[in-house]
Structure 1
Amino acid sequence: MSARWSEDQWGESEQRSEFQKIRRKHSKPKGRRRIDDLTAKNTEDIADDTIRRLIDLGHLSEVVAELKSGKEATAYIARSDKGSVLLKIYRDFEARSFKNDAIYREGQVVLDQRAARAMKSRSSKGLEMLQFDWVMSEYAHLWHLWRAGLSVPEPLVGPNVKTYAETVPAVLMRLIGTEDQPAPRLSDARLSPEEARSAWQQAVGGMADMLRLGYAHGDYSTYNLLWWENQVILIDFPQLTTRQNPNFRDLLRRDAESLATSFKRHGIQETGESTLREVQRRALGPAPEPRVVLP
């Protein structure tokens, strides 16, 4: 649907077909799922159709617990034959407290004019398309960043687009931490002065790595960074935007301001301007070693 994830050479007709195939048939928008609806001894007794589908597809074996609920999605701890899983299930657009995604979508090219009109008018079908696009964008960006060697969670479905399209409205990735002790957000972590300085350097480096790839995160702060075993892990990527977006420079500057402001509680006293300059300087340097994705 959108240029954000159509780089994978998947035709728009196939995209529409996949969207229609997985389109959920319910009249009431789905918001936060109750953990009781996601679990049962037998798969057929699980109330949530998304979880049943993920289990039937072999992507999950069970949901263990709710981890965190946000304005767009709820994160759960789950299990699969690949180990512990972070299961992120997006709420329907109508059920989100955050709905204004226009600033991130500017500059995108939607070749299907009917789809473009539906999304612009935010009709019921258009909202479903926006939901589909939002989740698919997170998968596409996560795979791109993972392959490029950035410190992000490993995506567990894909890299074939058609494969991860089947999981919408869910995104599955490797759980950072353990089931008993999931990695905290950097905003919640208690750091020594030495750890805080290391975390700051890694966070600035992560923003520079994204800029080198042509991305602005759009919501970059300690609230979207995890801290595990003295390492910063970047998360939350559906709103990533590229230089095609006329708001790119503003979003990049906003990310620098947010990062500097959110690190003040860890004793790091930097300004948004100095942070942006350092990010831009580092973006001219060497890139991380790319990861090899085996078939």
Structure 2
Amino acid sequence: MSARWLDDELEDADTLPERPHKHKAKKPLGKRRLATLTADPEGGDETDDLIRRLTDLGHITEVVAELKSGKEATAYVARGPRGSVLLKLYRELEARSFKRDGVYREGQVILDKRAAKAMQGRSRRGLEMLQAGWVTAEYAHLWHLWRAGLNVPEPLVGPDPYDYAQTTPAVLMRLIGAEDTPAPRLSDAALSPEEARDAWNQAVGGMADLLRLGYAHGDYSTYNLLWWENTVTIIDFPQLTTRQNPNFKDLLRRDAESLATSFRKHGIQADAEATLREVQRRAGGQGPKPRVLLP
């Protein structure tokens, strides 16, 4: 998948001149308080601006609970017109504990030199574009993988980039599991030996499916795999990289090592290099049946 989509997204965003910094720099927005996300505006409560926007756009009706907080985002359970929603809210870049994202972005071609310079220098405009790019990347990858038939959460906004660009810094996808019992990560699941072997086979197959499409996940382990109804679902895609990235082979090898290491908890003793070879072997075979998107 070409990185040109990122250039298209950013080209218009950088046509406005830089605004002078006349105001005091605000503190980067980190994790939002659940109380502001679940506030009732009709009752006079102060509602989070992002939640109000997502509600006005018709994507969600309410936020129910916090699910998981990670290095760059916090996941919440929400409700929407199409059922239960996984609402992923990114922190502002400067408020994240995970900031070394350059290794994943190498190889992207950004034709707008002003945009590229702003992002490299991490100016105010550059940080805004990086934030938007991180979110649109996850949506774009989700749509590509979902259409290709991989076991990933269904994206609930798009596929037109104009639509999902309006949700920044949020990504909305269908919740895996039930509202009161969301699917656990494989790292937290209690598996029988038979279930562990099945999960391992599916996880290796999922990595092969990504490779067949020309992707390395960048953080592939039981921490980014869900287990629900004996099915492995792959999550967390903003750092997904293609063969255009000069670090692709290293990231792919690291994914194989992370997968093998994280599965040892479940009694699977697999060698990282053997895992990589098996992934590469399977990637040469037939992939899953693409999904047919009905209007």
TM-score by length of 2: 0.93
Structure 1 residue 130 displacement after superposition: 0.7
SS of 2:87 mapped into structure 1: strand
Structure 1 residue 45 displacement after superposition: 3.8
AA at the equivalent of 2:211: L
5 Å-filtered alignment, 1:223-242, equals: 223-242=223-242
> Where do 5+ consecutive residues of structure 2 fail to align?
none
AA at the equivalent of 1:98: F
Structure 1 residue 85 displacement after superposition: 0.2
The answer for the alignment partner of 2:133 in structure 1 is 133
The 2-side partners of 1:153 and 1:228 are apart by 12
Structure 1 residue 40 displacement after superposition: 2.1
The answer for the alignment partner of 1:38 in structure 2 is 37
The 2-side partners of 1:143 and 1:83 are apart by 19
The answer for the alignment partner of 2:253 in structure 1 is 253
> Identity, % of aligned pairs?
71
Which moves more between the two structures, 231-240 or 41-50? 41-50
8 Å contact kept, 1:4–1:137: no
1:168-205 deviation per Cα after TM superposition (whole angstroms, max 9, x unaligned): 00000000001110000000000000000000000000
SS of 2:47 mapped into structure 1: coil
- In structure 2, the CA distance between the partners of 1:85 and 1:220, relative to structure 1 (3 Å rule), is same
5 Å-filtered alignment, 1:37-186, equals: 37-42=36-41, 45-186=45-186
Structure 1 residue 46 displacement after superposition: 4.2
8 Å contact kept, 2:204–2:279: yes
Q: How many residues align?
A: 288
SS of 1:237 mapped into structure 2: coil
The answer for the alignment partner of 1:271 in structure 2 is 271
1:33-69 deviation per Cα after TM superposition (whole angstroms, max 9, x unaligned): 0100111223674431111100000001000000011
> Where do 5+ consecutive residues of structure 1 fail to align?
none
Which moves more between the two structures, 285-294 or 170-179? 285-294
- In structure 2, the CA distance between the partners of 1:293 and 1:274, relative to structure 1 (3 Å rule), is same
Structure 1 residue 27 displacement after superposition: 2.5
AA at the equivalent of 1:163: D
Structure 1 residue 210 displacement after superposition: 0.2
AA at the equivalent of 2:194: E
Structure 1 residue 127 displacement after superposition: 1.2
The answer for the alignment partner of 1:195 in structure 2 is 195
Q: Over the residues paired in the alignment, what is the CA RMSD in angstroms?
A: 2.1
AA at the equivalent of 1:119: M
8 Å contact kept, 2:224–2:234: yes
8 Å contact kept, 2:120–2:126: yes
TM-score by length of 1: 0.93
- In structure 2, the CA distance between the partners of 1:30 and 1:260, relative to structure 1 (3 Å rule), is same
Structure 1 residue 125 displacement after superposition: 1.6
The 2-side partners of 1:283 and 1:5 are apart by 25
